C-alpha cells in the first residue's frame, strides 16, 4: 500500500477528491481512495497478488 500526492492538483477539497475518484473509476476502471490532505489531493493505492506492473502504469498515466 502506498499513498502518493496527485501531481498538479490545484483544488484539495472533498468535492475535488470525489470528482477525481469518480473520473478514475468511470473513465479508467481504477478504484483508489482519493483524499484531500494539507492542501493537496492524495491517492492511496493497494496492490494485490493479481495486480501487475501495468496496473500501476495505468494509474500513473491516468493521474498525469
**Structure confidence by residue, pLDDT tens digits, 5-63:** 998 756 789 999 999 999 999 999 999 999 999 889 999 988 888 878 888 889 989 98
Q: Which residues sit opposite 43 in a β-bridge? A: 4, 34
Task: Look at residue 26 in the predicted model and tell me its pLDDT.
Answer: 97
Task: Look at residue 45 in the predicted model and tell me its pLDDT.
Answer: 87
* Cβ–Cβ under 8 Å, residues 44 and 35: yes
Cell numbers for 18, please give them: 470525489
Task: Look at residue 54 in the predicted model and tell me its pLDDT.
Answer: 87
Q: Which residues are within 8 A (CB) of 52 and not within 5 positions of it... i.e. 6 or more apart?
A: none
* Cβ–Cβ under 8 Å, residues 56 and 4: no
Task: Look at residue 7 in the predicted model and tell me its pLDDT.
Answer: 85
Task: Look at residue 9 in the predicted model and tell me its pLDDT.
Answer: 58
Task: Look at residue 50 in the predicted model and tell me its pLDDT.
Answer: 83
Amino acid at each position: 500500500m502506498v499513498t502518493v500526492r496527485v501531481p498538479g492538483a490545484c483544488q484539495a477539497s472533498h468535492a475535488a477528491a470525489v470528482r477525481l475518484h469518480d473520473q478514475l473509476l468511470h473513465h479508467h476502471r481504477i478504484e483508489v481512495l482519493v483524499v484531500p490532505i494539507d492542501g493537496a489531493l492524495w491517492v492511496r493505492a493497494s496492490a494485490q497478488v493479481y495486480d501487475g506492473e501495468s496496473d500501476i502504469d495505468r494509474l500513473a498515466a491516468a493521474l498525469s
